[in-house]
Structure 1
Amino acid sequence: MPEDSLPQRIPEPELMVGDEQAAAYAGADFTTPHNRFINLFAERFPGFGGGAVLDLGCGPADITLRFARRYPAALLTGLDGAKAMLNHGVAAVARAGLASRIQLRHARLPLPDPTALPRFPTLIANSLLHHLHDPMVLWQTLLDHAEPGAAVCFMDLLRPSSREEAAALVSRYSGAEPEMLRHDFYHSLLAAFRIDEVCSQLVAAGIEGLGVEQVSDRHLLVWGVLG
């Protein structure tokens, strides 16, 4: 086996708590992957018209805002465990004039009291799974807060086959970004899961109705209607 192969993930810190790191992410240009997420949702749920949506790990709310603009009848609740990131999100929502349709809440998963949050007919998440040291936290949160038959669309990074491939992806997609973002992207790739690992997680959680597929050279998508 090559020395730089990645048969197992290498976890990274769960939360981005520093102000400098949060500001870097809030100011970065994620237009391409974030628009890709919105388009993937639209392709897989063409009948979606709006309603309550839970955005898990919303960060500075860039995808939350893009989703709200794409679907004017959607009412979004965004959760994130990092206050520094949420501060940027709250400011962005206010600037966009969407505070009446987007509520951001500081909460770290798993919620100590799941009953403090209702169940939702639609749940979305982007780049949350690879941050979690225990991936089952995400799937239990889904079971706790999804209505029966809920639409689910979670996109995340896909772990490459080697450190060399991870470095090449960083160079290809983040070569012009600040060093902090390049560093974080590299380590996030090492912390990400593979498709077979996510499938095993879903089986272990007893979750039915969701599929897992590769949607780019660095992303996987978990989506479907919860059984």
Structure 2
Amino acid sequence: MNAAMNAPAWDPAQYLRHAGHRARPFVDLLARVPDPPGAAPRIADLGCGPGNVTVLLADRWPAARVTGYDNSTEMLDRAHVEHAGPTPGGGRLDFAHADVRTWTPGTPYDLIVSNATLQWVPGHAERFGEWIAGLVPGGTFAFQVPGNFSAPSHRLMREIAHSARWRDRLAETLRHDDAVLEPAEYLQRLTALGCEADVWETTYQHLLHGEDPVLDWVKGTGLRPVLTALADDPGAREAFLAEYRAALREAYPATAHGTPFPFRRIFAVARKGA
């Protein structure tokens, strides 16, 4: 959960309200990651958030020394309290403050992963070369990012932010639909760096429950810049939410069984040459 251009404030409790749905893409990503070359691998998780998926790395490789990096104090505090410490397999799980926009590997890593973070980092593909250079021979760089910036959830958010009522306060707040690259572009970038790359996409059909569940979802992630920008004006914040809530209800109508929420994600696993 690293900084966007407008440095949104993060709320771990809100983010974790949909933890099961949010964790599934990371599980699917890890299923395609080969075992690191070292017996006690060093692993970096860029944008670890509250650490709820970072622990899956320690579960998969019990002897690993895993470090989760994030620039949100709120997220790191939650991760430290709930997850930091030695692991049953002789490894260790730690968390540290870092900004993905400037982070560089200080020591060789067997695996560098990032889960739903790079979309917050403008020009993130330009960092791939430096990160891959920080892998041991045969090491892996793997990530997943949302690929739904043209979906109604994000498009409506941008349209309202750019409307006459809100543009003076919010026009520069939100990311645009070029926040991530298309799968073919990621494939080209990674293979050009000498990696054996596996890139794919999946659209999950989440079935959400509760009142205004799509709004509740984006309050934990994509809407954070707006909530941060309007934090000092509760009246304006509620007015924006009311307008956005109405648009989401029309775009994602509830059914008798819940509210369907399609969510496209892009995955990449790049293995460095041995």
Same structural fold, with TM-score higher than 0.5 when normalized by the shorter chain:
yes
Contact 2:111 2:139 in 1 (8 A): yes
Deviation at 1:58, TM superposition (A): 1.0
- What is the 5 A alignment of 1:136-215? 136-159=125-148, 162-164=150-152, 190=177, 191-202=179-190, 206-215=193-202
TM-score, normalised by the number of residues in structure 1 = 0.68
What is the match of residue 4 of structure 2? Answer: 13
Contact 1:109 1:137 in 2 (8 A): no
Deviation at 1:104, TM superposition (A): 0.7
User: More displaced, 121-130 or 103-112?
Assistant: 103-112
What CA distance in whole angstroms lies between the structure 2 residues aligned with 1:33 and 1:65?
14
Deviation at 1:140, TM superposition (A): 3.6
What CA distance in whole angstroms lies between the structure 2 residues aligned with 1:47 and 1:133?
29
Change (3 A) 1:131 1:118: same
Unmatched tracts of structure 1, length 5 or more: 1-11, 169-186
Tell me how large the CA RMSD over aligned residues is.
3.4
For the pair 1:225 / 2:271, whether they are aligned, the reply is yes
Change (3 A) 1:165 1:64: closer
- Size of the aligned set, in residue pairs, is 191
Deviation at 1:126, TM superposition (A): 0.5
Greater helix content: 1
Which AA in structure 1 matches 2:268? V
User: More displaced, 187-196 or 132-141?
Assistant: 187-196
Deviation at 1:98, TM superposition (A): 4.6
What is the match of residue 26 of structure 2? Answer: 37
Deviation at 1:35, TM superposition (A): 3.7
Which AA in structure 2 matches 1:147? V
Larger Rg: 2
Which of 78, 93, 99 is residue 102 of structure 1 equivalent to?
93
What is the match of residue 82 of structure 1? Answer: 72
Deviation string, structure 1 residues 132-171 (Cα, Å, up to 9, x no partner): 11123541442342112102321111245x4437579xxx
User: More displaced, 39-48 or 126-135?
Assistant: 39-48
- SS at 1:28 equivalent: helix
